[in-house]
Amino acid sequence: MTRLPPEPLLDWSATGTPISIETGDVYSSEGGLEEKRTVFLDGCGLPDAWRGRDLFTVGELGFGSGLSFLALWDLWRTRRPFGDARLHVVSFERALMSAASAERAHAPWEEVQNLARELRARWPDRANGVQRLVLPDGVVLTLHVGPIESSLPRAALRADAWFLDGFSPARNPEMWSFEIMRGIARLSAPGARAATYTVAGPVRRALAAAGFTPAKRPGAGRKRERLEAVLTSSSTSAQAEPPSSCEGDIPPTNGADYEQKAEPNVRRPLRALVIGAGIAGAASAYALAQRGCQTIVVDKGLRPGAGASGNPTALLMPRLDVTDTPEARGLIEAYLFSRRIYLGLGPDAAVAAITTRRPGAGRDRRRFERLLADPPLTSDHLKALDPSAPGEGLRFPGALAIRPEKALTALLAGSSVLTGVEASRIRLGRGAEVELSTGERLEGDVLIVCAALSMSLLLGPTSPPMTGRLGQIEAGFWPTNEANAEADGGYVVCAFDTVAYGATFEPVPDEGAVITSSALESNRLTLKRLRPDILPDRLPQSASRASVRATTPDRLPFAGPIERPDAGGGGGPTSGYMIGGLGSHGYLWAPFLAEAVTSRIFGEPSPAEADVLDRLSPHRFKSAGHSP
């Protein structure tokens, strides 16, 4: 199987309705929008089901052109229960339609054209895995792209309603099996409702066996009947037995039932504390503020980004592996999500910077060849530098140059920031308390610690193991009409009238973050190798900057709950979370990890698969025998 998901082969009816050539089935009927409203919105009891709720989650099997999603969004924006209520939609799609095809499919539905344009402006990339789109009106779309039999077991959500909107059971039986119905039951809240246009016997029996009570209802359009179902069984789906006509099984999800993994607060957090105003802390504050949470950020530096996050320029580009592992998927999901966040901050904070990645070590050439032979991203994000010699380099058309000073300011704009003050102690219980070096105490409902190497001083034995690595970069004035970058292990970024190049990654000396002549010479060699046209001695306003980056033994970051010593090995609820160990890829990981942690705090669906969350857990080091 190729790493890119398939593109659907489409035909079109005379009225503009897309038809799947593979299955011979239509994406929607001629009266599609009204049918969607009757089958799915009425079938799931909407809008009454979300009355009085500040969070409502809908799961969907089969995203298609997004027409069901648009019908739901249209209802939500007019019948939203509260001004800050959030609607999460988690959809599963094997073959993602292109934005151009979606535009054609949306054309007949004038009443949702404004919403359709908003959706297409953020249309997901053609990539396997999870992508999250943040839309107006408190609407969040999380799309799982890939085969349903592998993506559903890895999903992390708790749905209040399900739209079962795949192609007909006769043409697409995999979508309607008992294993899939059991999967949606596992990912459902008690009393969740499901709706579909089919009343086929195997579908009704599969739903019933999974714990739902199905009932036929009068249909819509050409459909004489439709189906509604309510989750009534108190047993878990893992214990459910298939109907006699069902064969096979889906393995359990890596122990990653989100209901059990999440440790939600009893009430929705209204006030949050964040320790650290680097990129992890700033991204956390942004994610909290987006949910209406009053947030105070504390940092011992004199300004945000005073540590490793404060270089003149940062580079966001894909970090790609040749194999499909949780780490590889996490890197792609982080890149795509973080890229959307930075672009949303405006051109002062982030701009496109086409980046060339040249081979460094000898094995890079073979790795490049394998990546291009079976790419995990489309040509919007990954190309060969020279198609006739794929091992000679990669081009990343979607890469970004980021101006940290502006990006951090934008991310922190919705929060109160206290700089030059150190957090000296934390206490976690029903809420969180932070004692400052001034003696002042801050209280909140929840705390996120993003304190890099200082984390061990605050968390003691519950802190994951980290070591520091000294990084030095050089920067100078360089007029740039169009941002660009070159990399081969080192990098040169030209953006915002600045050239930044480096960077070293060395053990930290006793003196801490010190600028050294040896690092300067190493960085100048990098500049000469990648951009021989730029002469460092002729760069005005040239300066060096050194900082210490926190990294973990396996070079992966961590994000998750702080284990309370009194919780018997982490079994109790917590009001504390941590993000750290980002190493030299902080601007890639931070918005994604902040979204994952904040989603967990608020009991929302995760922007990542369960096995990715497990791989990035702060508690993974226990089994490896590491100590702080």
> Which CATH number goes with the domain that contains 536?
3.30.9.10
Which contacts of 241-246 are long-range, i.e. CB under 8 A and separated by 24 or more positions?
Answer: 241/209, 242/178, 242/179, 242/182, 242/206, 242/209, 243/178, 243/202, 243/205, 243/206, 243/208, 243/209, 245/202, 245/205, 246/177, 246/178, 246/179, 246/205, 246/206, 246/209
Q: Is residue 14 part of a domain?
A: no
Same domain, 445 and 388: no
* CA dihedral over 360, 362, 364, 365, signed as positive or negative: positive
pLDDT, tens digit, 9 for 90 and up, residues 1-25: 789 999 999 999 998 899 999 988 8
Residues 6+ apart with CB under 8 A from 78: none
**Residue 214, SS3?**
strand
Domain count, the chain: 4
Q: Tell me: the pLDDT tens digits for 323-333?
A: 999 999 999 99
> Same domain, yes or no, for 455 and 498?
no
Does residue 40 sit in the same domain as residue 122? yes
What's the pLDDT score for residue 15? Answer: 87
- b/e map of 187-196 (b: 16 or more CB within 10 Å)? bbbeebbbbb
| 473, 502 Cβ separation under 8 angstroms | yes
Q: Same structural domain for residues 578 and 541?
A: no
Q: What is the pLDDT of residue 569?
A: 45
Same domain (yes/no): 446, 542: no
Residues 79 and 135 in one domain: yes
* DSSP strand pairing (86-93 vs 129-135): unpaired
Query: Tell me, what's the pLDDT at 248?
Result: 37
Q: Does 579 map to a domain? A: yes
Using pLDDT thresholds of 50, 70 and 90, give the confidence band for residue 362. Answer: confident
| Residue after which a domain boundary falls, among 551, 567, 587 | 551
Q: H/E element holding 152? A: none
Do 386 and 515 belong together in one domain? no
540-565 per-position pLDDT tens digit? 999 999 999 999 999 999 999 998 75
Average pLDDT of 147-165?
Answer: 97
Structure-block tokens of residue 375: 């790419």
pLDDT band at 106 (very low <50, low <70, confident <90, very high): very high
Same domain assignment for residues 569 and 613: yes
Q: What is the pLDDT of residue 471?
A: 97
| Least confident among 21-25, 97-101, 135-139, 500-504 | 21-25
Do 541 and 526 lie in one domain? The reply is yes
Q: Where among 496, 529, 551 does a domain terminate?
A: 551
Band of pLDDT at residue 360, cut at 50, 70 and 90 = confident
CATH of the domain at 205: 3.40.50.150
Q: What is the pLDDT of residue 513?
A: 94
Q: What is the mean pLDDT of residues 162-177?
A: 91
Q: Per residue in 235-252, pLDDT tens?
A: 444 445 666 444 333 333
Q: 253 falls in which pLDDT band (50, 70, 90)?
A: very low
Q: 211, 192, 152, 200: which is closest to 173 by C-alpha? A: 200
Measured CA to CA, the distance from residue 389 to residue 491 in angstroms comes to 22
Q: Which of 326, 138, 164, 149 is nearest to 248 (CA)?
A: 149
The helix or strand, by DSSP H or E, that contains position 142, with its residue range, turns out to be: strand 139-145
- Degrees (nearest 5) of the Cα angle 580, 584, 589? 55
At residue 135, the pLDDT reads 98
Please check whether residue 248 lies inside any domain of the structure.
no
What is the pLDDT at residue 365?
Answer: 94
Name every residue whose Cβ is closer than 8 Å to that of residue 446 and which is 6 or more positions away in sequence: 265, 269, 272, 273, 431, 432, 575, 576, 577, 601
Cβ-based neighbour number of residue 458 at 10 Å:
21
Rounded Cα distance between 534 and 499, Å, is: 9
Burial class (CB in 10 A: 0-12, 13-18, 19+), 534: middle
- Kindly state whether residue 71 falls inside one of the protein's structural domains: yes
Please indicate, yes or no, whether residues 503 and 559 belong to a single structural domain of this protein. Answer: no
Do 417 and 446 belong to one domain?
yes
Residue 343 lies inside a defined structural domain of this protein: yes
The model's confidence at residue 265, banded by pLDDT at 50, 70 and 90, is: very low
Average pLDDT, stretch 367-386?
A: 97
**CATH number of the domain that residue 620 is part of:** 3.50.50.60
Q: In this model, does residue 259 exceed pLDDT 50?
A: no
Task: Show the tokens assigned to 32.
Answer: 């599609």
pLDDT at 563: 85
Counting residues of the chain whose pLDDT is more than 70, the rounded percentage is 92
- Residues 226, 138, 607: CA angle, nearest 5 degrees: 80
Q: How far apart are CA 71 and CA 556, in angstroms?
A: 40
Which pLDDT band, with edges at 50, 70 and 90, does 168 fall under?
A: confident
pLDDT of residue 450: 99
Task: Please provide the average confidence, as pLDDT, over all residues in the chain.
Answer: 92
For residue 250, tell me if it sits in a domain. Answer: no
**C-beta separation of 564 from 572 below 8 A:** yes
- The tens digit of pLDDT for each residue in 278-309 reads 999 999 999 999 999 999 999 999 999 999 99
What is the model's pLDDT at position 250? 36
Measured distance CA(559)–CA(448) in Å, rounded: 10
Largest CA distance in the chain: 79
At residue 55, the 3 state secondary structure works out as strand
- Could you report the per-residue pLDDT of 135-151, keeping only the tens digit for each? 999 999 999 999 999 99
- Entry pTM: 0.94
Q: Is residue 562 part of a domain?
A: yes
pLDDT in tens, 38-70: 999 999 999 999 999 999 999 999 999 999 999
> Do 186 and 222 reside in the same domain of the chain?
yes
Half-sphere exposure in the Cβ direction for 109 (13 Å, CA): 28
What is the per-residue pLDDT for 234?
A: 53
DSSP 181-206: HHHHHHTEEEEEEEEES---HHHHHH
The Cα–Cα gap between 599 and 385 comes to: 38
Q: Which pLDDT band, with edges at 50, 70 and 90, does 511 fall under?
A: confident
Q: Give the residue numbers spanning the domain of 51.
A: 31-235
Q: Is the pLDDT of residue 518 over 70?
A: yes
The residue count for the chain: 628
Domain-embedded: residue 12: no
What distances in angstroms separate CA 612 from CA 254, 393, 521, 617, one per listed residue? 10, 28, 39, 9
Query: Which residue has better confidence, 221 or 199?
Result: 199
**Tens digit of each residue's pLDDT (9 = 90 or more) over 127-136:** 999 999 999 9
